[in-house]
Amino acid sequence: MAEKPISKESQARTLRGWMLGLHATHIIDIGGRLGYFAELRRRGGVASAEELATALQLDPWRTEVWCRAACTVGILGCTEDKRFTFAPFMDELLGDESPELLTAHVLASLARDFSAYPQAFRTGATKTFQDHDEDFFFHQSRISALRAPEIVAAARAVRQVEARLAAGGAVMDVGSGSGTVLVRFAEEFPTCQAVGIEPLPYFVAQSRRLIDERGVGERVRVEAISGEQIAFHRQFDLVTMVQVFHELPDQAKRGILRRCHRSLKPGGVLLLVDRCSPETAADLRDRRFTMSILEQWFEVTWGNIVNTRSEILAMLRETGFLVTQDSATLVPTYWTFVAEKQEE
């Protein structure tokens, strides 16, 4: 089918759509935080603004305005007697643990950075991952929890990993965040050992709580250190690094890869899951790069560098790994590198 011609009007409509999208993201974020979606669900999917406001002890007029705004961007519907409902599928899509709702919370949290961008672009000032607030860490970790099963599934898909972990092998997760990947490995492989490396005190505390809650403390632990301090030798069958590589200081990346290599047993595997920057003009329009390009954009003042696929491959090879697979599909929306430590 021929593409529609682009006109000034169609471009203006595109711009207006993005502006609406900005509002919609904040309407979703605030609706989730105030409990409007949950309350509407409790009421069988239909309620007046007054009923929502009373149940949640919120201002009725402001609640009415939120409902109207949610309606106009297409999140809610409205009955003839001015009661509000979910627009089709929005009930399901905006459930308490849905990725869509959690992403709106993270985006709203990150949007607070943008007011400092003009000045930061002039001065080079940075605000690192660790400089963000607990609201960001909290929602980020809830999204990570949704991704943990995909990471374990990707590890299982690597020939020797599943057998080694099933036989009581050991896994190290570098930048283990809230610990959901560690706990997932421990739950899926009932005799495996798992060690997390995590420098951020908020995540160390959160992951230790999760380990206690799930009763896996005998086999899972988190070390409150950074990747630069890893000092294991031939202890692990698998090392995972999920959404961490681009967070590492650029000058420390090779050193940390060497430490991961040293930590692996011969035949062990590093699973590096991350974004990849575009390398060609065509990549800018290739959907596989969209999230990578946007991630570099919303982390540009964090001091993070999202490397290209070629750069990551070169660093893995320079640090002694044999790359056996690199895939844009093994973990959806990420690039996954499978790199092996060969027999020494």
Ligand X SMILES: C[S@@+](CC[C@H](N)C(=O)[O-])C[C@H]1O[C@@H](n2cnc3c(N)ncnc32)[C@H](O)[C@@H]1O
Q: Give the footprint of ligand X on this chain (CB under 6 A).
A: 129, 144, 174-177, 197-200, 203, 226-228, 242-244, 247-248
- Quote the least distance from Cβ 138 to ligand X, whole Å: 12
CA 249 – CA 318 distance, rounded (Å): 18
Q: Identify the three-state secondary structure at position 11.
A: helix
- Quote the least distance from Cβ 263 to ligand X, whole Å: 13
Cβ-based nearer residue to ligand X, 24 or 108:
108
Residue 143 CA, chain-centre distance (Å), reads: 6
Cβ-based nearer residue to ligand X, 117 or 129:
129
> At 113, which helix (H) or strand (E)?
helix 99-114
CA 123 – CA 94 distance, rounded (Å): 39
- Quote the least distance from Cβ 221 to ligand X, whole Å: 15
Cβ-based nearer residue to ligand X, 39 or 150:
150
Other CB atoms within 10 Å distance of the CB of residue 314: 14
- Quote the least distance from Cβ 79 to ligand X, whole Å: 41
Name which of 173, 175, 104, 187 is nearest 143 in CA terms: 104
CA 337 – CA 154 distance, rounded (Å): 11
- Quote the least distance from Cβ 266 to ligand X, whole Å: 24
Burial (CB count within 10 angstroms: exposed 0-12, middle 13-18, buried 19+), residue 93: middle
- Quote the least distance from Cβ 308 to ligand X, whole Å: 19
CA 118 – CA 300 distance, rounded (Å): 12
- Quote the least distance from Cβ 195 to ligand X, whole Å: 13
Cβ-based nearer residue to ligand X, 76 or 174:
174
- Quote the least distance from Cβ 241 to ligand X, whole Å: 7
Cβ-based nearer residue to ligand X, 39 or 198:
198
Q: Identify the three-state secondary structure at position 192.
A: coil
Expressed in percent and rounded to 5, the helix, strand and coil fractions of the chain are 55, 15, 30
Burial (CB count within 10 angstroms: exposed 0-12, middle 13-18, buried 19+), residue 101: buried
Cβ-based nearer residue to ligand X, 32 or 179:
179
- Quote the least distance from Cβ 279 to ligand X, whole Å: 23
Task: For residue 118, give Cα distances in angstroms to 13, 26, 301, 306.
Answer: 27, 22, 10, 21
Cβ-based nearer residue to ligand X, 32 or 177:
177
Cβ-based nearer residue to ligand X, 56 or 110:
110
Q: Identify the three-state secondary structure at position 45.
A: coil
Cβ-based nearer residue to ligand X, 95 or 199:
199
Instruction: Render the burial of 296-313: b for 16+ CB within 10 Å, e for the rest.
Output: bebbbbbbbbbbbbeebb
